[in-house]
Structure 1
Amino acid sequence: MKLQFDKNQGYQLDAIQSVVDLFEGQSLNKSDFEFSLSDSVKGSIQFTEAGVGNNLVLSEEQILANLVKVQTGNQLRPDEISIVIEKLWYNDDAETKNVVATKTVVTDFPNFSVEMETGTGKTYVYLRSVYELNKIYGFKKFVIVVPSVAIREGVLKSLQITFDHLQEIYENQPAEYKVYDSGRIPDLANFAKSNAIQILVINIDSFTKDANVINQVRETGVRPIEYIQKSNPIVIIDEPQNMETDIRKRAIANLHPLFTLRYSATHKNLYNLVYKLDPVKAYDLGLVKQIEVDSVIAKNDISGAFISVDDFKIAKQSITAKITIFVNEKGGVQKKQVTAKIGDDLFNISKGWGIYKEGYVINELDADNGFIEFSSGKIVYKGQAVGGLTDQILKEMIDATVENHFKKEKELRAKGIKVLSIFFIDRVANYRSYDEQGKSIKGKFALWFEDSFTKWQNMPAYRGLFTYSSDEVHNGYFSQDKGKLKDSKEGKTTKADDETFKLIMQDKERLLDTATPLRFIFSHSALREGWDNPNVFQICTLNETKSDIKKRQEIGRGLRLCVDQTGVRNLDRAVNRLTVIANEAYDSFSKALQNEIEEDCGVKFEGRIKNARARAKVSLKDKWLEDSLFLTLWDKIKYRTDYKVQYSTQQLIDNCVAALQLMSPIERPIIYREKNIAKFIRDNKGNLIELGGEQKGSKERLIREAKFDIPDFIAYIQSKTELTRNTISRILLESGRVGEIFNNPQLFMDSVVKIVKQEFDNVKINGIKYEKIAGQVYEMKLFESAEIEQYLENLITVKSQAKTLYNYIAIDSLSTPEKKFAEDCDSRDDIIFYVKLPKTFQIKTPIGPYNPDWALIKKDEGDETNIYFVAETKDPKAVLDRTLLRDSERKKIACAEKHFAVIEDVHYKVVGSVSDLKI
């Protein structure tokens, strides 16, 4: 399998363009033959004794102006608009926590943040941004800094699988990527000397300390890191929230970045936020899976002396532990996390719950070895829970995961989609351990899983679904120590961990292949961050204690939209459903996740987390192929069409000229310099403050002219619009605006391209003509694809089954007009048949496929004549004023009107209600 990538994802292109627009006014890309030594400080690259490096000619003030323009265009909140270019700062003195003028180091390079929800292609966006920054400005040197081995291997995998795709988009632009290896130091010299795009992936821990190989002076008298420093790389920071310590910020600054681009779904500090795709927007646009929770909780579980050791807190003169026990509250006994110290009696802390009456005084707290010893001699370790129904809960969670997997596998196999499930566990020994002879032994999780798998495999509904035995479909991904599996820790870079992370990252395509038996993956918690697979449909976290990993991070491993066996992404929201098996009530899980998202992003996520139990199967009624009303309606609407576009080149030219004459003026950039620039930084509370007193700028010099090399702008516009050179030349000359190319070439070209493409789409839509394709019709089996489980809140129960095909009507729960329309169709006497058209019923248009909403038969008022409609439901205001719709929606509707115009006896209508169905 080869994963396929869509180069036209609008939200990804917006994120890429936002970064490119930060440097408007920067020298444009030149060919490699246009440089001379005199150019070494003028363009976007410079020549040094080490080789080829990046160069930035813009002033900080111009970058700030560009930044504010981008932020405003992306509709960021007022508090997210930058007042200054925020800088990275750190304290060399470990004892210094706040900003101290004499001890705080403030860097001089700009930093920019891009926020993209997990699963929306963050890595793809920054890798493509590398190529785009090279194409537009000519930058060549890029370093990707990652916080862990797992994320490093994920980035490497992304580089491998996107390389051909990006080479195709960017016309085979020479490019190389490598992962830093302390045993291959000569690679860094090549990084510096090469004139091709160079991408170096490096783990932050590889260069934070003086003792690291990269920072040691070699026999040549050069420290290897100097090759990177002299290249002035653009530093891309993946998951920057993990790099906010002083030592890591200092290490990043030591790379001598031209600027940094920081990409994450969960930033800790937003340095000059450029673009934001938050969880709510990603969810509403259908860019990630829907989230549902299958809760496994114990009721009346108060019989045992439950104790779980969650954490230790060490202060200068004391040590305390966070433990979870049963507490006798007013509303009854319930599990609660409490803080305890040496000498505390759990009987007192539990407010007199009798089960802790004897033997539960804390004798010892050992944070180093991670355990608590009680007066009875009982020892409980951190990460361990004793008493209560712990094992029963964990066993039931495994069974719930297997059950959900079997349901999903049966549902999606016909669509060529393989289903994967992940179990995250805290201790490898629970899955696999070793006897005295070193022979592996299945742990309790493995045994419970195999019992559950065998049980569901033998259920009548699932017989024949799997031909594999229970021990073939699961495996663990853990580190090894002398051949034995062991717990691993995120951030460690031992050879054993390296091999483990490489295995799970590089096996992505194999895991997606239905011919590979592996379906269930047991993984140590260290792999929670950095690894994901698009076909993960179930996530189960088998914690014996409450997880301190954020829920957003846990569910992020399964948010990507799934792919089929051809590597093509499936966009059906009913298919893309991530089930989280949680050992807490749905309401509790949902509230905690909502709170995290609101704290991290400042946006509401209410109503978007689904209850896995609140689902129903949308099914076709019996003998639906014999329904005479449906067959009559289908015979009317089933015809496929193709289109031709007829337009006048002169009309296109005239329209483009008129639009260009209304284009905002392309202003010449104003570049000015200051002798001293004030440095603005954050204090320890995250507020912007000024370091160094009042701003100094006594020696200002205003430069009102900037000279640009003018590229072949006709060729550039031609490559973006598919028009001929002659047509483009006529448009520009007749517009009278061509002289503005000298003010700012890139802004001029991009503005022209945007206008010309928009006008070209308009004339194509106006001149489109549809014709029925002889002998070609839509297949009726399209309706079978809609037979799938949906959430009840997205379903309307059909009362008049004779009037439609399904037992439920599936609608967008956020669409009030569509919901009211479906209810009226079911209840009104003048609607004698209706059906929601499958998403795969698509009409071709020049701007992408269009899927109408409904097909109906309506009885004419006062007559027995049947009228056949295809309807698109929109807000009633948008029906009256189509300018309220998105431009692409208006154009697709215009195409649909012309498609159905050649289909006899079918009337296409855009409606706000059933009452609008008139001819």
Structure 2
Amino acid sequence: MQFKFSQYQYQTDAADAVCDVFDGQPLQDGVSYIRDTGIRKPASQVLNPAQDTFDIPELRPVQEMLGHFDADDDTGYRNADLLLDGERLLANIKNVQRRQNLTESPRLYTDPAGAVELDVEMETGTGKTFVYTKTMFELNRRYGWSKFIVVVPSIAIREGVAKSLDMTGDYFYTSGRDGNEGYGKKLHSFIYDSSNLNRLDEFAQSSDIQVMVINMQAFNTSMKENGRSKDARIIFSERDDFGSRRPIDVISATHPIMILDEPQKMGGRATQAGIRLFKPLFTLNYSATHKTKHDLVYALDALDAYNQRLVKRIEVKGFELNNMRGTDGYLYLQDVIVSKNRAPQARIEYKKLSSAGKVVTTSGLFDEGDDVYTASGGLEAYHDGWRIAPDGIVPDGLEPGRTGYVRFMNGETLGKGRIMNDGSEADMRRVQIRETILSHLHKEEHLWARGIKCLSLFFIDEVAKYRRYDDDGEPLNGEYADMFEQEYDRCVHDFVENRLDDGSGYLDWLRTTHGRYVHKGYFSIDKHGHSIDSKVKRGSEDSDDISAYDLILKNKERLLSFDEPTRFIFSHSALREGWDNPNVFQICTLKHSDNEVGKRQEVGRGLRLCVNREGVRQDRNLLSDADFLDVNLLTVIASESYERFAESLQKDIETNLRERPIVINDAFFVKTCVPADKLGPEYAGLGDVSFSKDEARDIVYALTVDRLIDRDGKLTDKYKEERFGKDAVELLPEPSRKKVPAIRLVLDSVVEGTTKVLIGNALKRKVHGNPLNANWQKKEFQELWRRINHKYAYTVSFNDDELVKNAVKAIDERLVVSKLSYTVTRGIQKENASRNELADRTHFHRNDSYTGGLDVDASNGVRYDLLGEIAQAATITRRCAARILKSIRPDRFLMFRDNPEQFIARVGRLIVQEKANMVVDHICYDRIEGGYDSSIFTKGGNNRDEAEGYQASKCVQDWVFPDGRIESDFAKDLDNAAEVAVYAKLPRGFQIPTPVGNYAPDWAVAFRDDSGLKHLFFVAETKGTMDSFELRGIEDSKIACAKRLFNQLDLAGGTRYEQATTYQTLLDEVKALQ
């Protein structure tokens, strides 16, 4: 099978965008120069002096391939000089940017490699190699330039580029110009090889289009002259075997056009310095995610590519473990963090017992001496020695050749990116494999009739999990291979059972397949022919194993054939970059999800549009929109929850979207904030400047009337000449004129392309401190505070026999301990995407979910002090706990084995509830010495987003930060109520002790003296109904205790306590007391 290439408009647009930058440059074909042929060996040293070229055995294959190379001919051909000056180049760039609806460059990039440095942004999977290949042909056709160097960051990309250049040669020769007519030329490409430098002579001597592909590692990681690597020394040194010439001099004499593929992976400034040593005519950068910005002339980002149907739609299957146990001692070292001002810290993921009795996975920063046992809430699995040892946090590289790690007091070490004690990992990997197979079968059946081969790709981090070898070197299945074959045969049986073939032949064919023959592994190979883990150099995510990529690329077309039985592929995650097969429809990563690989990169290997058995691309030229989305669907089987993966993917996409040109309208100014430090000291009195809707409307009106913006909201040339001048200022209302410096700064930022630091700040303004205001001093509040600002102790007594009886009854009737299960949630991209949806994380919508069970041994050998744990959880004696456990039903006691941590927490909670029910009627409060300082209101209130708060008028602080809609509405109603004099949102530190935990009421409200109400001082509670039956009883008991306390106060002429979900409810209660 061979790929059939098609011409798309975006490919032509991208090539034209680059070529049009040089509009005005004359066509100059074959500019010749006298090239340095080096010091020739005496004839006596030439093995065959009768020939025109050196007869060096090592060069014979190259000489035979090139045919016409003449070592005696010192004629070389270089790229013609660029004759356009900077002013003309900038004008051309701006014309291109306006045509492409891109933000205009205010000036040429100030430090280019060559005369100019251009960026082309193209989403992964849209064929940027094809585009810059077409661009090379176009630059040659229009201007005669013929020397190009493609620089790539890795072996994987290098091999892929070389393969692509080879595959597209015939297409561009015959029809690649416009889909019908070709260029009539061949492109001669080769991979730079420091052991075969004589190929550089052909590069310099030929007048044909010459393309050298080179990976940055062929120089060194920094591409610095005289770098430490062997290859770097070769390219920058005079070589006897190269005529005493420096290879870099031979290359640079041609003034090549440099094309950087994925420049963001090449080391920034050091790479730029290295590129300049080639003396390039100019440089082109191609990437989906440019890190360093130059002059952008074309952009096709993820949003454009998806909406234009140039990549597959993405579906996500996410997994979540339910009812986790804390018995395995799970730990995952996410990172070792090094900072200048403190010792290294470790970010560790671990399990924690929540206050509700559930075991959850969380992560946190740990210092030397910190104990995971303490952080976990006392999970027994972390009890013995899981404290970080002295000097036990070791950063990357501190020990030669070793990544960072953490050492614990028990002697265990945990490496960065590694996991230990994950009791459920094998079960979850089996679930992932099963779900991948199920997705594959459903999709394969659908694609079968269309003649489209369906492939699924598994990435693993250890080859041994897929392939092992016995003592004789014979291959054996690893753990994942066994899992796959078992699950495949089971899934196929269930899929075809009781189903008749629909005439397509798919089900009949599927019945003949066996799990053993449908999967294959692609890995690095050692000298014995054994599959091995791909080696990854520090600081890189990809392997540099050429043999592995060669294997992948050689089999690219074969895998698309129905004659090849392989449909499921296992490969090492370090070889990810090598996979760009268009018919990958399922991607499953059988490893812990980490932050080092972005979600876009994780899905990027499957975004290319698929092809049928004839190699025809299944695009919008062939399919309706509905069929396109149905056929080109990539399913990602994630190793984490759907919500977490989908949110991370959307964030990753949104972060890398190109900047669209700013439209200056009311909304633009409303969402803009100018920080005070941007305005300069002479305007310090203004503070941070933002704009109301009315002010924004007035500014836009002034800009429109003074013709400083056009009907599309773009700044006119008049603005660029006059800026926001006197005429525009006079059109503003007087109050808005004081903000003119900020208006000018905002508009200038549009011209300069720096609005990103201002846009959106208005929505993310911070409340820096929230001090007490004048309302605090009002006599009504001071009187209210005097009445409630006390601390209390309580006494209570109850009968142990009654507690045991009630607790046993509650446990027997209501105890539920959950077994470990998993939930699969499926979600999919909406049919069209918008930037706002990505920013709001609403571009994916959930389709469905279902739950399955996992049968796992829960104990893991952890020993529990069951009596002590329950006594502590319920605040009772060990003796009382023993009486309760001895009396419950045997089947309830056996629930301990299903989930020990949950059993302890829930039994403890049920006992506390029964205790709470008994104590309310017997509790008595006594005032003790001490009160609360006013600073309790301002602790921890700094740097919160304004959007989270409500700016109040009657509160003792300017800002109220409510917990949900009920509290937000309540605060607004208090401000608007004529009866209310002043109120406070009580801080969490204001607490009332109860036998079932401390209680923090929500509000303190003082009514006006002239309101006609008898009771003027109230403490109010606005918490909504608790969802959990376990929490509801305890919370009700706390509220009942608080009510009892304040009722005692009211008997002495004090303060009333009421529950209310709205202000009107509170007012009705107050009036009922008249």
TM-score range, shorter chain: 0.5 to 0.7
Task: Find 2:532's aligned residue among 479, 483, 486.
Answer: 486
Deviation for aligned residue 1:603: 7.3
> Which residue number in structure 2 is paired with residue 420 of structure 1?
455
Deviation for aligned residue 1:122: 1.0
Alignment of 1:231-246 (within 5 A): 231-246=254-269
Task: Find 1:161's aligned residue among 167, 184, 194.
Answer: 167
**Pair 1:598-2:654 in alignment:** yes
Counterpart code for 2:237: Q
Task: Find 1:334's aligned residue among 360, 368, 378.
Answer: 360
> Which residue number in structure 2 is paired with residue 910 of structure 1?
none
> Which residue number in structure 1 is paired with residue 216 of structure 2?
204
> Which residue number in structure 1 is paired with residue 408 of structure 2?
374
> Which residue number in structure 1 is paired with residue 336 of structure 2?
312
Gaps of 5+ in 1: 39-46, 89-105, 605-685, 689-789, 795-810, 815-919
Deviation for aligned residue 1:258: 0.8
Report if aligned partners of 2:344, 2:393 keep a CA contact under 8 Å in 1.
yes
Deviation for aligned residue 1:494: 12
Report if aligned partners of 2:457, 2:569 keep a CA contact under 8 Å in 1.
yes
> Residues 341 and 440 of structure 1: is their aligned pair in 2 closer, same or farther, counting only changes over 3 Å?
farther
> Which residue number in structure 2 is paired with residue 465 of structure 1?
510
Deviation for aligned residue 1:132: 0.7
> Which residue number in structure 1 is paired with residue 151 of structure 2?
145
> Which residue number in structure 1 is paired with residue 606 of structure 2?
558
In the TM superposition, what whole-angstrom CA distance separates every residue of 1:493-542 from its partner, at most 9, and x where no partner exists?
A: 99981111111122211111111111111111222224311100001111
> Residues 142 and 359 of structure 1: is their aligned pair in 2 closer, same or farther, counting only changes over 3 Å?
same
Q: Distance in 1 between matches of 2:832 and 2:299?
A: 24
Alignment of 1:578-727 (within 5 A): 578-601=634-657
**Pair 1:433-2:468 in alignment:** yes
Deviation for aligned residue 1:202: 0.5
Alignment of 1:1-80 (within 5 A): 1-7=1-7, 9-30=8-29, 50-77=76-103
Alignment of 1:515-530 (within 5 A): 515-530=563-578
Deviation for aligned residue 1:591: 1.4
**Pair 1:113-2:119 in alignment:** yes
Report if aligned partners of 1:410, 1:465 keep a CA contact under 8 Å in 2.
no
From the two aligned structures, give the one with the greater helix fraction. 2
Report if aligned partners of 2:146, 2:210 keep a CA contact under 8 Å in 1.
yes
In the TM superposition, what whole-angstrom CA distance separates every residue of 1:395-432 from its partner, at most 9, and x where no partner exists?
A: 11111111111111111111110011111112222222
Task: Find 1:575's aligned residue among 609, 615, 631.
Answer: 631
Alignment of 1:267-306 (within 5 A): 267-304=290-327, 305-306=329-330
Task: Find 2:436's aligned residue among 397, 401, 408.
Answer: 401
Q: Report the 3-state secondary structure (helix = DSSP H, G, I; strand = E; otherwise coil) of the residue aligned with 2:150.
A: strand
Deviation for aligned residue 1:156: 1.0
Q: Distance in 2 between matches of 1:282 and 1:536?
A: 18
Count of equivalent residues = 585
> Residues 157 and 124 of structure 1: is their aligned pair in 2 closer, same or farther, counting only changes over 3 Å?
same
> Which residue number in structure 2 is paired with residue 442 of structure 1?
477
Q: Report the 3-state secondary structure (helix = DSSP H, G, I; strand = E; otherwise coil) of the residue aligned with 1:3.
A: coil
> Residues 449 and 232 of structure 1: is their aligned pair in 2 closer, same or farther, counting only changes over 3 Å?
same
Counterpart code for 1:513: S
Counterpart code for 2:206: S
Q: Distance in 2 between matches of 1:340 and 1:506?
A: 48
> Residues 336 and 75 of structure 1: is their aligned pair in 2 closer, same or farther, counting only changes over 3 Å?
same
Q: Distance in 1 between matches of 2:462 and 2:452?
A: 31
In the TM superposition, what whole-angstrom CA distance separates every residue of 1:562-609 from its partner, at most 9, and x where no partner exists?
A: 0000000112221100000012222222211111111111579xxxxx
Report if aligned partners of 1:27, 1:137 keep a CA contact under 8 Å in 2.
yes
Q: Report the 3-state secondary structure (helix = DSSP H, G, I; strand = E; otherwise coil) of the residue aligned with 2:89.
A: helix
Task: Find 2:421's aligned residue among 381, 386, 394.
Answer: 386
> Which residue number in structure 2 is paired with residue 252 of structure 1?
275
Q: Report the 3-state secondary structure (helix = DSSP H, G, I; strand = E; otherwise coil) of the residue aligned with 1:458.
A: helix
Q: Distance in 2 between matches of 1:114 and 1:563?
A: 26
Counterpart code for 2:20: D
Q: Structure 1-normalised TM-score?
A: 0.60
Report if aligned partners of 1:146, 1:204 keep a CA contact under 8 Å in 2.
yes
Q: Distance in 1 between matches of 2:316 and 2:552?
A: 26
Counterpart code for 1:589: F
Report if aligned partners of 1:296, 1:585 keep a CA contact under 8 Å in 2.
yes
Q: Distance in 1 between matches of 2:28 and 2:560?
A: 40
Q: Report the 3-state secondary structure (helix = DSSP H, G, I; strand = E; otherwise coil) of the residue aligned with 1:508.
A: coil
**Pair 1:216-2:264 in alignment:** no
Report if aligned partners of 1:310, 1:545 keep a CA contact under 8 Å in 2.
no
Deviation for aligned residue 1:37: 8.3
Deviation for aligned residue 1:545: 4.9
Deviation for aligned residue 1:233: 0.6
Supply the RMSD in Å over aligned alpha carbons. 3.1
Task: Find 1:188's aligned residue among 193, 200, 208.
Answer: 200
Q: Distance in 2 between matches of 1:191 and 1:296?
A: 53
Q: Report the 3-state secondary structure (helix = DSSP H, G, I; strand = E; otherwise coil) of the residue aligned with 1:158.
A: helix
Report if aligned partners of 2:330, 2:419 keep a CA contact under 8 Å in 1.
no
Deviation for aligned residue 1:223: 0.6
Alignment of 1:476-555 (within 5 A): 476-483=521-528, 484-490=530-536, 497-555=545-603
Q: Report the 3-state secondary structure (helix = DSSP H, G, I; strand = E; otherwise coil) of the residue aligned with 2:130.
A: helix
Deviation for aligned residue 1:812: 8.2
Q: Distance in 2 between matches of 1:540 and 1:423?
A: 5
> Residues 431 and 792 of structure 1: is their aligned pair in 2 closer, same or farther, counting only changes over 3 Å?
closer
Counterpart code for 1:375: M
Report if aligned partners of 2:312, 2:633 keep a CA contact under 8 Å in 1.
yes
In the TM superposition, what whole-angstrom CA distance separates every residue of 1:862-882 from its partner, at most 9, and x where no partner exists?
A: xxxxxxxxxxxxxxxxxxxxx
Q: Report the 3-state secondary structure (helix = DSSP H, G, I; strand = E; otherwise coil) of the residue aligned with 1:583.
A: coil
Report if aligned partners of 1:113, 1:271 keep a CA contact under 8 Å in 2.
yes
Q: Structure 2-normalised TM-score?
A: 0.52
Gaps of 5+ in 2: 35-72, 176-181, 497-506, 620-627, 661-752, 756-825, 835-1074
Report if aligned partners of 2:307, 2:833 keep a CA contact under 8 Å in 1.
no
Alignment of 1:767-782 (within 5 A): none
From the two aligned structures, give the one with the greater strand fraction. 1
Q: Report the 3-state secondary structure (helix = DSSP H, G, I; strand = E; otherwise coil) of the residue aligned with 2:509.
A: coil
Report if aligned partners of 1:151, 1:531 keep a CA contact under 8 Å in 2.
no
Report if aligned partners of 2:588, 2:636 keep a CA contact under 8 Å in 1.
yes
Alignment of 1:710-859 (within 5 A): none
Report if aligned partners of 2:536, 2:542 keep a CA contact under 8 Å in 1.
no
Counterpart code for 2:553: M
Q: Distance in 2 between matches of 1:351 and 1:229?
A: 65
Seq. identity, %: 40
Q: Report the 3-state secondary structure (helix = DSSP H, G, I; strand = E; otherwise coil) of the residue aligned with 2:138.
A: helix
Deviation for aligned residue 1:85: 1.6
Deviation for aligned residue 1:457: 2.4
Report if aligned partners of 2:114, 2:280 keep a CA contact under 8 Å in 1.
no
